[in-house]
Amino acid sequence: MKVLGVIMLAIVLLGPGAAPTMAQTSMPAKGEETQSPEGTGQSTEKPASTAEAKPSPQGPYSGNIWHRSTLTGDWFGVRNDLAAKGITFDMSLTQVYQGTVDGGKDDAWKYGGRGDLTINVDTHKLGLWPGGHFRVEVEGNFAKSVNALTGALNPVNTNQLFPTPTGNNLNVPNVSFMQFFSPYAGVMLGKLALLTPTSGDMNEFAHGKGDTQFMNGAFNINPVTLLTIPYSALGAGLIVLPTKDPHAAIIGFSVLQSNGKASTIGFDDLHSNQLSFVGEARVRTDFFGLTGHQLIGGAYSNKTFNSLNQDLRLFVETRTIQKQDGSWMVYYNFDQYLYEVKKGSDQGIGIFGRVGVSDGNPNPFRCFFSFGVGGKGIIPGRPLDRFGIGYYYVVAGHPRFTGLLGITRSLLRNEYGFEAFYNFAITPWLQLTPDIQVVRPAQKTFIDTQAFIPTRENVGTATVLGLRLQMVF
């Protein structure tokens, strides 16, 4: 929290009246590379920071501190030169101060954060060969979150889940190579991070790692995917571009190591033959002359999971817990602008929604849906501000536990929640987001071990307030 406080104090001292106004005149942000329509290996840049920006005559990272896309700028021109040769460095730090102020399992405030460094290399721009892309991502998180205090299946602070959910971590979730052999198709392989700023159940208004839009996991990625698709795993895949334009339509198929983790390389577990098979397709639409997208995906894992239903009598007899072979799920999402400041400008207001269905055992998310409203740049003079309001509902798998006397208890109930946020662009590289969530968690009761005599307590509807600060370096 000290870093957050120092930054906010500096903003106040520098002048709260001037900073927000100047922040909206933006410079180009860091490029999130995607294959060009011609398939030549030249990337079409989509800004990865929260503040897209207009080109500067000096280069994409140049400009004064209020207007440029990153805090550290162009590094005396070196950064612009490297970007022109296909080498980019995307760096960010996202800090969250969040608390359960009512309900849940405990009232408490927690501070935590996550840093990310992504290095992209375009082999065509570098003068090597066309169609090649290397990517390395280093990611770390620190301190704590209130995720465990709400009793909810969906985390109220998605940012703190990556690269791994608990403790202080520094991992390498992505070391991958992608090669396009034609304007229509390419392959990828390596240790893959399946959730990036432009992939992984992508949605215009509700997507990511909780660092730029919604904070609740239910609005960033469909939760039915979490059991069968690991965040980081060894794998290989095929990418198909039916129209040559990755923004118009893209289809992906991949085979992943089901036990993959950001904290391990994964080669020591290849012999287990536990694999996830994933397919996803996304297409851009033009209903009523307004931009939108439709996405559908599915996955199957042949891994052996722990069953949600357990019988203590069987455990006493065999000393083993019940297992479940394999798991499947399908998911869908859409986003649709209702108003655009300018066609294709990524500014306007629209709606979004998600639906997901799974086997319900071993997947605890049997059914899921969410919907909401999102927008960006609709206030005059504030083209970089974002906002979102959303609602989600989970039909839980209802795990059952049978005791020695044959009495069976259902451990979970259906979960639902609401979230609203507003992302203030103080500068193109500095984003401040107040956030409120109200969640009726899936967990029904818990044992309060802090009491003098441990007792079973009910888990009530949780109200969670939060403040997020993201810096792009």
- Check which CATH number belongs to the domain holding 147 and give it: 2.40.160.180
- Which residues span the domain enclosing 333? 2-472
Task: Profile the chain (473 residues) by mean pLDDT over runs of 10 residues.
Answer: 40 33 34 38 38 59 92 94 95 97 93 96 96 96 93 95 89 96 95 90 96 96 94 95 94 93 82 89 95 97 84 63 88 96 91 96 94 94 95 85 64 92 96 98 84 81 97 96
Give the global pTM.
Answer: 0.84
| Chain segment 257-270, per-residue pLDDT in tens | 998 888 888 877 77
Tally of domains in the chain: 1
| Chain segment 230-257, per-residue pLDDT in tens | 999 999 999 999 999 999 999 999 999 9
**Residue 15, burial from CB neighbour count under 10 angstroms (0-12, 13-18, 19+):** exposed
